Amino acid sequence: MKKGNLLYEGKAKKVFETDDPNILIVDYTDNATALNGLKKGTIVGKGAINNRMTNHMMRLLEQKGVPTHYVEELSDRETAVKRVSIVPLEVIIRNIAAGSFSKRYGVEEGTPLKISTIEFSYKDDALGDPLINDYHALALGLCTEEELNTIKKYAFAVNDMMKEYLLNLGIILVDFKLEVGRLADGTIVLADEISPDTCRFWDKDTMQKLDKDRFRRDMGGAEDAYQEVMKRLMGE
């Protein structure tokens, strides 16, 4: 597979075309942003960790019946994925109150939720990714009702699988964000990444944050936190 032209440059990843029109190459960088791009920085080593963790999780999810865009890890930072058109939704599952949920509803961070929740944001940087509900997503034509049901089913399946898997590694899955895309034939698959950039991970014993909140909140120790997650996941 030959790496071709740069198709798209996101905040933390670059996407390249290949000689196969159905395959793209994602290149993970160490760039970190927060506050819708207002805060910029670097987390050294993050690109390789996010690439490898995402692929590890996507391979596990595929085995459990959740389809993903994953094709093949090409290098520490590069992965071949199926070309999808991204559904412009950020799909967020929460198990424990944190971040915007705590702020919006006045719930102390760390409060366990009585049920796991799902919410959607409209993926639009100019609008600041506003929170929307199912009706809004359908009214805006972002997806069909059938697609929305599939997305919810997959998101909760990902939560069930990841929660258990990570707890065995001493990590509490607080919340996470997923993105999904459509293959050429319309099939919904998991896309984007599953990493400390897009999930909140807390150490089971110390409740220490092992994720991007260390960068977002200027806590320090982001590099070590990413390394620690990688070590537990891959034993290195």
If the CB atoms of residues 81 and 199 are measured against ligand TMP, the closer one turns out to be: 199
Compute the least distance from the CB of residue 177 to ligand TMP, in Å.
3
CB 99 within 8 A of CB 200: yes
Within residues 91-150, the interface with ligand TMP by CB under 6 A covers 92, 98-101
Compute the least distance from the CB of residue 213 to ligand TMP, in Å.
8
Q: Residue type at 128?
A: G
Select from 16, 175, 196, 215 the one that contacts ligand TMP (CB under 6 A): 175
If the CB atoms of residues 3 and 204 are measured against ligand TMP, the closer one turns out to be: 204
Residue with nearest beta carbon to ligand TMP: 99
Within residues 195-214, the interface with ligand TMP by CB under 6 A covers 198-200
How far from the centroid of its chain's Cα atoms is residue 89's Cα?
12
CA distance 22 to 20: 5
How far from the centroid of its chain's Cα atoms is residue 105's Cα?
23
CB 85 within 8 A of CB 112: no
Q: Any contact of residue 177 with ligand TMP (CB under 6 A)?
A: yes
- Nearest to residue 198, comparing CAs of 212, 210, 218, 214? 212
Footprint on this chain of ligand TMP (rule: CB under 6 A): 92, 98-101, 175-177, 198-200
